[in-house]
Structure 1
Amino acid sequence: MYDFKSIEKKWQKYYEEEEPFKVDLKNAKKPFYNLMMFPYPSASGLHIGNMYSFIGSDVYGRYKKLQGYDVFEPIGFDAFGIHSENYALKVGEHPAKLTPKSIKYFRDEQLKKIGNIYDWSSEVNTSSPEYYKWTQWIFLQLYKAGLAEKKNSEVNWCPSCKTVLADEQVIDGKCERCSTEITKREMSQWFFKITKYADRLLENLEKLDWTETTKNIQRSWIGRSEGAKIRFPVENSDIEIEVFTTRPDTIYGVTYLTLAPEHKLVKKLIKEDKFSQFEEFLESVKKMDVATRTSKTRPKTGMFTGSYAIHPLTGERIPIWVGDYVLVEYGTGAVMAVPAHDERDYAFAKKYGLEIKQVIECDPEDLPYTEKGIMINSGPYTGWKSEDFIANIDSVHEKIESAVTYHLHDWCVSRQRYWGPPIPIIYCDKCGIVPVPEEDLPVLLPETDDYIPDGSGKSPLARNEEFVNTTCPKCGGPAKRETDVSDNFLDSAWYFLRYISPHDQDRPFDPELAKKWLPVDMYIGGNEHANLHLMYARFITMALHDLGILHFEEPFKSFRGHGLIIKDGEKMSKSKGNIVNPNDYFDTHGVDALRTYLMFMGSFLEGGDFRDSGMDAIKRFLNRVWEVANKPEGESSLQLKIKMAETIKKVEYSIENIKYNTAIAAIMEFINEAVKEERIERQLVVDLAKLLAPFAPFICEEIHEMKGGKGTILNAGWPTGYDKYLSMADVEIPVQINGKMRGKVKIHQKASEDEVIEKIKGDERLAHYLNKGEIRKVIYVQDKIINIIVK
């Protein structure tokens, strides 16, 4: 029986003391940067979802190291920000005191036990001044380049977290962290101009080796739409309402305009006798989340402002409404309503008895008709195709021009909290906005017990006069510091750069090491970060590239987004009591069993269902591996050598394509054959251990040492020398009969057509189909497929 407890402790100690995975970054001959998403130290410990991600990334890193690469696999802690601060508030401890304790637990009781090939000499902590000095430095570079600006804007406010949130941190109208419904506030905030990079962020996706799911999430969030901007003059005023539409070909069907209730022009358009009605309507809208407001099935509500616009092409008066289904942050916050050709406009018009005018040819019974087609009732453009009108839109009227809009908005980076890097800006009555000189960085976060946000819209730092009051770097006069801290997603947007130079006091990273190691070769993590961390990291990298600071513009060559774990068929939650604590299995099943089961329970990129019975099965499997490793040494059968050759190829393919479960299944098949052998060659056992080492490191280290190996097994190289056996292996040939797949036959390589047919005739189920008639034709691609026509 394999004594996993003592052997795992032995090799954990070896990893700790000998540091076999510490990388000489300067002199490495074959660099491979393997990155995983570093954790928030914001809870009582890492959960099974964290471990799933970390281990999945480590499997790939271990595989590349076995292939001879100098694998750099760093780890650190995303320690600043709202997650860590809220956890500290929840347990009643100061974040500056709790965070180091959380980090120590994460590091010593969890991460150092799971066998990952971490280079601990490169550890980073985003809440340390040595790190956030350079977060502030990056802010200043963007400010100097005109990519950071402070402006008044209606922003997302979380009443629970008592801070502003970026658009990407609002999910279905709720805070992505605490699920509280957000409200809107008009505030002066710092923004990064990520929208300047919208097209580049979109276009570059085409050349990235990323999971397609992740790329589609980013495409959707960037949300590029081509269409036209149309200006509608307001009757008896100098006001114009600008709308964006992807269907300017329906302009002759506009029968009313609808504005978002929060639109800046609404209060100017509401007639005095309707103002109290509007105030009530606005309050009701504030209680709705985005998903509710934009739902196609929910009944829409609105009200008439009492004002009219003038149609730019027909001169007709068009009533101006406000509607709850229009959002101020999308497009221009105003919609030209064409009820005959838009589902929501149609429902709204039907409810309030508004005119419906058909302008695209179709059966009137089919309204609302949303396809393009032949224009009708469209003045001089009647008879035109929609596509032709859109192509010539710039020549139609001076108030109509082609345009492109984006769902992506500028990144609001101001946070009204305590636990974060102070934004390095000073305000002087004489000089205005003054950046903190680089030589004065870091702007230290002051130690204080007055750190709880009060919901006023101001950071707790605003109450710290010693911090606030300072001297203007330009004129030497009295000045005040910015009291907001920056979004913790800025901390994590560049951490992969700091890993290569974590102790450099003079620069954020060594440019020579950056040229050698960056961009990151493989990044594995959760798709839930597609619109936040991954988008922001790409933007920061592009900006630093444009400023001549980085030699590349995309941070991650390859990214693989993994799936989520459920427990016994249900999503994990505290209320259900089915949260899995990985530590619970360290003593009962062992780290190797946990690692291997997590990678085996389903497709890594899709997720899986965690079941204790599965853990038990993997524990038994590892005991069988140990049994095989301890068989008497001696000549193995030819068949087992052939099986090893096949297994190596399957495992290589599966790990390269992040199909970890099929790699483990292939190793299990080999074990099933190996247990039948009375004796087994030493090299076969060592090579078995190499194949399993990415998944179950400790048992494989022990087997390697037991068979005479020195140091870590990962330095012993990937198994080789089996090509001659691979050529002896049987192949599986799919069998089609009359064009339908009916099964497979296993036969030696390069078998003739007659041999394959004989094999098929020997298979009772396949022979049944052949016996239904006479073989008229055979199409055989050697070793690939056979198709037999029977009549």
Structure 2
Amino acid sequence: MGYDHQAIEQRWQAYWADHQTFAVEIDRERPKFYVLDMFPYPSGNGLHVGHVEGYTATDIIARYKRMRGFNVLHPMGWDAFGLPAERYAMKTGRHPEQTTRDNCANFRKQLQRLGFCYDWSREINTTDPGYYKWTQWIFLQMWGHYYDRQAGRARPIEALPIPEEVRAAGTRAVAEYRDGRRLAYLQESPVNWCPDLRIVLANEEVAEIVDAGHEVVRKPMKQWMLRITEYAERLLSDLEGLDWPPHVLEIQRNWVGRSEGAEIDFAVEGHEDAGALTVFTTRPDTLHGATYMVLAPEHPLVERITTEAQREAVTAYVDQTLHRTERDRQSASIEGRKTGVDTGARALHPLTGAHLPIWIADYVLMGYGTGAIMAVPAHDERDHAFAKAMALPIVQVVAPADPAKAAAIDVQSEAFVDEGVAVSSPVIDGLPTPQAKTTMTGYLVTQNLGRARVTYKLRDWLFSRQRYWGEPFPLVHDADGTVRPLPTQDLPVELPPMADFDPSETGEPPLSKATDWVALPDGSRRETNTMPQWAGSCWYYLRFVDPRNSSLPWSKEAEDYWMPVDLYVGGVEHAATHLLYSRFWHKVLYDLGHVHEPEPFRRLVNQGIILGAVFMPSDGRRDAEGKKLTFLPDEVDVHEEDGQVRYTVKQTGEPVDIQWDKMSKSKGNVVNPDEVVATYGADSVRMYEMFMGPLEQSAPWQTEGLAGVHRFLARVHRLYFEEGKQAGDRVQAGGEGDRLRALAPGEGTPRQRKLLHKTIHEVTERIERMSFNTAIASMMVFVRDIVPRGADGGAEPLPRDAAEQFALLLAPFAPHLAEQLWSALGHERSLIDEPWPAADEALLREDTFTLVVQVDGKRRTEVSAPKDASRDELAALARATDEVQRFLEGREPKRVIVVPGRLVNFVG
């Protein structure tokens, strides 16, 4: 019969389901290991093979850790609220609840068919009222607390000190004072409004909508905000000690954007009663070089200080800016397209008294800093471009310390942005830049003209959406305008069933149409905005530890045992959104005593992208509009010519070149796992995805490679079974008509023992550092060499000990086939609870040496390497280490120096 992957996989998937093999509970007799995939969004397109890569990696680790004696939590669920589901529902006429339910069922079926060891008894869904009850509860925790900067933590809003003058103004004044300081607060602010879709978008959602051809404008609306900025410093400092990829840590640091500098106050001529125009700068040493000011068009002072002569031009420019997104404005600034209008107002330089023109320009954004800048065109590229465009003065106040270099500087033609020494700047003349910054800041403080300040690029989180398919807010608005929370016993606030959930033309949320739901008997009205999709995914990892608890979001016992997550695997695209938001929520919960550690994810790994094929004309031909022509894989014929693979369009014979790109439905290069699993089997797909290369690197999907892995598994099957033999057998057959080969008793020959223990050592060590491709390579060598080639029972038949130990090694990678082998060897229970094989160190010492791994000549780590390994094998072994992977980050080194028997050095 041979390797019947379908029969084998169906058998063991049914066994695991019937026996609840992967269900876990708290067990304090064993160490825990919590391994988690990033929450998938169950789209109507289903999984593609790119999704499977990360899930396979966590499955290997989960199975391996369990066999090492850990109590492993490996759950799965669905991030199912959000705009895509709502848009799909509006397009198809089906309710999002129905489409979401169908999509989740399809995803579940696909994942189960791949044999992943999820504890399905813990499955959760963000759209389940039993789940979002606790999302609403967490929001109310934020609404009921403020951030105490002195204590460095969140505290109950009732503990907020109230100034005497506020208290004297009455109860309403006290309530407004508290509302303005809550971690969750209501504010009118400019938002990204899409008139076509009639929705508000988060900044990170704008690009996708604009690229789809929709207009996005800025529009003021009352929105719920979360005060994430209060946690900016902790979000930065707590990155230290996390085992995360360096590039993700850097993305988060840049997103928070800590800057040290000074706030400087400028008076506005004729508007002294309006208060100071305050700017923040990281270069207070350049103050004498400020020649004009720029306000964001949305700045509240614009309307007040604009002169009558300039009002019409300013009003027109402000209106024009409101029809542009921040993304568009930033892009224009980067590309050097500068526009702006003089308000006619003048600011007074705080040191010289000079009259500085105040402009508005779209390259200054209200969401960053104070929404106003002092422009120093001699030492800032954006200011320089604007000054040149508007014929504004450019004054040099910093020069290189080297006189020869200083003489070559011409700030009229190019900004000098490096550090140097201060010039033409009384108080700090001649001081190097670091000292000049400190001295100027101190001087401004003593003159009451400014103050030292740390600022962050991070903005408070816009938490409202004008959509139907999201969590309702657990808040009501009283007739007098006050907002109050609903008590926990009234949660969840469930979404009302609605047939018409299109947003209104004015931007009113769809829930405003559910009049019976909105209006409450006491005359109050429910909040009609809904939460963003990020809300449910901010805390799902906590619900997994206790998913069926109806009285608490999680028990203290479960959280204390399972948390934090030991390994988190997912895409780098979530580095500055989901990961940052989750850390923020977790820190609030930590302050409130609901979790016992300040960080949720101990180790993070980003899997690479699996690329799909696209084909383009070899001559670079484009269509009539100048766009690149592409052909789908099923439109292209593949053949060999002159020893090379050629690609031609089936209909025309036109030659095309293959290129690799991220899989997407629009490109037509998506590979459906259902199809390849049916042809090659789940074990083959799993192993191929891990064999394509290092987990963190992107790789092209090539079906011929998958076929090669399938052949390897068929060879494993032949190693154990006499295929098609009908002789009686006392054990479970490998396939219909197959029986177990005659095995040599014990451990086999010395050569076989060495090979077995070398393989155990290599596979174990490589799984530990998630170098799955090299672990599979070791197993391939074992299968090739354990018995003489072509021998069906020759001089060295497969020893029973080697047969059993190898089945255990194979189990995390190809669990279905491994279970089949284990059962055929006479074992009644699943091998998931068998102990992981241990290598005999005495045998290893004879054939291995310690390979030193260097980067730029410095020792970084060491690994065990075979004494007979080739130069290429030693380089590959060293390259697979975490230290070298972090150094390379997907690029090629300039040189790789291999000294056999000693070291490998990666240069540059």
Q: TM-score, normalised by structure 2?
A: 0.78
Letter in 2 for 1:395: Y
Q: 2-side partners of 1:147 and 1:92: how far apart? A: 38
* TM-fit CA distance, 1:641: 2.5
Given the alignment, which residue of 578, 591, 601 partners 1:533? 578
Query: CA distance change for structure 1 residues 168 and 290 in 2, over 3 Å: closer, same or farther?
Result: closer
How does 1:268-307 map onto structure 2 within 5 Å?
268-285=304-321, 286-287=323-324, 290=327, 293-294=330-331, 295-307=333-345
How does 1:663-702 map onto structure 2 within 5 Å?
663-674=775-786, 676=788, 678=794, 679-702=797-820
Q: 2-side partners of 1:503 and 1:746: how far apart? A: 48
Residue 560 of structure 2 corresponds to 515
Given the alignment, which residue of 443, 455, 460 partners 1:395? 443
Residue 550 of structure 2 corresponds to 505
**C-alpha deviations, 1:423-446, integer Å up to 9, x for none?**
000111247111111111111111
Residue 692 of structure 2 corresponds to 601
Query: CA distance change for structure 1 residues 610 and 181 in 2, over 3 Å: closer, same or farther?
Result: farther
Residue 645 of structure 1 corresponds to 757
* TM-fit CA distance, 1:98: 1.9
* TM-fit CA distance, 1:732: 8.1
Letter in 2 for 1:467: W
Query: CA distance change for structure 1 residues 176 and 410 in 2, over 3 Å: closer, same or farther?
Result: farther
3-state SS in 1 of match to 2:334: coil
How does 1:117-516 map onto structure 2 within 5 Å?
117-145=117-145, 146-171=182-207, 175=209, 180=214, 182-238=216-272, 239=274, 240-285=276-321, 286-287=323-324, 290=327, 293-294=330-331, 295-361=333-399, 362-363=406-407, 364-365=409-410, 367-392=414-439, 393-396=441-444, 397-430=447-480, 432-471=482-521, 477-516=522-561
Verify the 8 A CA contact 1:643 1:729 in the aligned structure 2: no
**C-alpha deviations, 1:36-73, integer Å up to 9, x for none?**
12222232312222222222221211111121111111
Letter in 2 for 1:483: T
* TM-fit CA distance, 1:155: 1.9
Is residue 634 of structure 2 the alignment partner of residue 633 of structure 1? no
Residue 883 of structure 2 corresponds to none
3-state SS in 2 of match to 1:304: strand
Residue 759 of structure 1 corresponds to none
Q: 1-side partners of 2:451 and 2:702: how far apart? A: 59
Query: CA distance change for structure 1 residues 81 and 748 in 2, over 3 Å: closer, same or farther?
Result: closer
Q: Which deviates more from structure 2 when the two are superposed, residues 286-295 or residues 535-544?
A: 286-295
* TM-fit CA distance, 1:25: 2.4
Q: Which deviates more from structure 2 when the two are superposed, residues 553-562 or residues 628-637?
A: 628-637
Q: 2-side partners of 1:413 and 1:747: how far apart? A: 56
Query: CA distance change for structure 1 residues 342 and 501 in 2, over 3 Å: closer, same or farther?
Result: same
* TM-fit CA distance, 1:309: 0.7
Q: 1-side partners of 2:467 and 2:900: how far apart? A: 68
Q: Which deviates more from structure 2 when the two are superposed, residues 120-129 or residues 397-406?
A: 397-406
Query: CA distance change for structure 1 residues 27 and 88 in 2, over 3 Å: closer, same or farther?
Result: farther
Residue 22 of structure 1 corresponds to 23
Q: 2-side partners of 1:94 and 1:177: how far apart? A: 26
Verify the 8 A CA contact 1:191 1:414 in the aligned structure 2: yes
Residue 160 of structure 2 corresponds to none
* TM-fit CA distance, 1:178: 6.0
Query: CA distance change for structure 1 residues 224 and 735 in 2, over 3 Å: closer, same or farther?
Result: closer
Q: Which deviates more from structure 2 when the two are superposed, residues 456-465 or residues 628-637?
A: 628-637
Verify the 8 A CA contact 2:314 2:342 in the aligned structure 1: no
Q: 2-side partners of 1:291 and 1:340: how far apart? A: 26
Percent identical across equivalent pairs?
40
* TM-fit CA distance, 1:176: 9.3
Q: 2-side partners of 1:128 and 1:323: how far apart? A: 46
* TM-fit CA distance, 1:454: 2.8
* TM-fit CA distance, 1:323: 2.0
3-state SS in 1 of match to 2:382: helix
Query: CA distance change for structure 1 residues 53 and 90 in 2, over 3 Å: closer, same or farther?
Result: farther
Query: CA distance change for structure 1 residues 202 and 748 in 2, over 3 Å: closer, same or farther?
Result: closer
* TM-fit CA distance, 1:404: 1.2
Verify the 8 A CA contact 2:67 2:835 in the aligned structure 1: yes
**C-alpha deviations, 1:546-565, integer Å up to 9, x for none?**
11121111111111122212
Verify the 8 A CA contact 1:78 1:125 in the aligned structure 2: yes
Q: Which deviates more from structure 2 when the two are superposed, residues 65-74 or residues 157-166?
A: 157-166
Q: 2-side partners of 1:33 and 1:327: how far apart? A: 42
**C-alpha deviations, 1:280-339, integer Å up to 9, x for none?**
434554346526535434232222221111100110000111223222212122221111
3-state SS in 2 of match to 1:121: helix
3-state SS in 2 of match to 1:621: helix
Query: CA distance change for structure 1 residues 655 and 90 in 2, over 3 Å: closer, same or farther?
Result: farther
Q: 2-side partners of 1:13 and 1:176: how far apart? A: 46
Q: 1-side partners of 2:850 and 2:518: how far apart? A: 74
Letter in 2 for 1:290: R
* TM-fit CA distance, 1:689: 2.2
Is residue 656 of structure 2 the alignment partner of residue 618 of structure 1? no
**C-alpha deviations, 1:567-612, integer Å up to 9, x for none?**
1322223232111111111111111111111111122112221111
Q: Which sections of structure 1, spanning at least 5 residues, go unmatched? A: 472-476, 740-744, 750-779
* TM-fit CA distance, 1:636: 3.6
Query: CA distance change for structure 1 residues 645 and 26 in 2, over 3 Å: closer, same or farther?
Result: closer
Query: CA distance change for structure 1 residues 616 and 516 in 2, over 3 Å: closer, same or farther?
Result: same
Residue 762 of structure 1 corresponds to none
Q: 2-side partners of 1:482 and 1:218: how far apart? A: 32
Q: Which deviates more from structure 2 when the two are superposed, residues 336-345 or residues 656-665?
A: 656-665
**C-alpha deviations, 1:186-206, integer Å up to 9, x for none?**
111111111111100110001
Q: TM-score, normalised by structure 1?
A: 0.89
* TM-fit CA distance, 1:160: 5.0
Query: CA distance change for structure 1 residues 293 and 24 in 2, over 3 Å: closer, same or farther?
Result: closer
Verify the 8 A CA contact 1:154 1:185 in the aligned structure 2: yes
**Alpha carbon RMSD of aligned pairs, Å?**
2.7
Verify the 8 A CA contact 2:758 2:839 in the aligned structure 1: no
3-state SS in 2 of match to 1:381: coil
